[in-house]
Amino acid sequence: MAGRHRVIVVDGLSETEEVLRAVLEPRGVTIDRIRGDEDITEARSAPVPRLVVWHATRAAASNHPSPTWNGVPRVVIGSPSGKASQDACVSPTDHFLSEPFQYAELIEAIERLLESRA
């Protein structure tokens, strides 16, 4: 993964942010975690990320990934039977992880999606 990539984690666990920072930041990936309406409003005005990790079962309905992020690949984490989780995966560039998930799976999905956009 050459260059600097920005990944946004929407309403993920703080441990998810910590693991992704520890593993991916040395590889040139910036990890930002956003929680709540105020954070997502601020994130929408920032540069468009290379990838969004959206924790569908933790995110409020109002925190659905921004329309300005259309076309940005997403890793959606959620319940396999959850409608919000299924509805969030609308693009062939999206990847779905069922809860509970393993961090190795998440990192692999992120790396694969970032490499496919390089």
Task: Compare 25 and 3 and report the one with higher pLDDT.
Answer: 25
Taking Cα atoms as reference points, which of 92, 94, 85 lies closest to residue 55?
A: 85
Residue 37 pLDDT: 60
Report the number of distinct structural domains present in the chain: 1
Per the prediction, the chain carries an average pLDDT of 78
| Residue 86 clears pLDDT 60, i.e. is over it | no
* Domain interval for residue 43: 5-99+107-117
Residue range 17-69, pLDDT digits in tens: 999 999 999 999 999 888 766 566 666 667 788 999 988 766 554 455 565 67
Query: In angstroms, rounded to a whole number, what is the distance separating the alpha carbons of residues 101 and 106?
Result: 8
Show the 3-state SS of 71-109.
CCCEEEEECCCCHHHHHHCCCCCCEEEECCCCHHHHHHH
Q: What is the CATH number of the domain that holds 13?
A: 3.40.50.2300
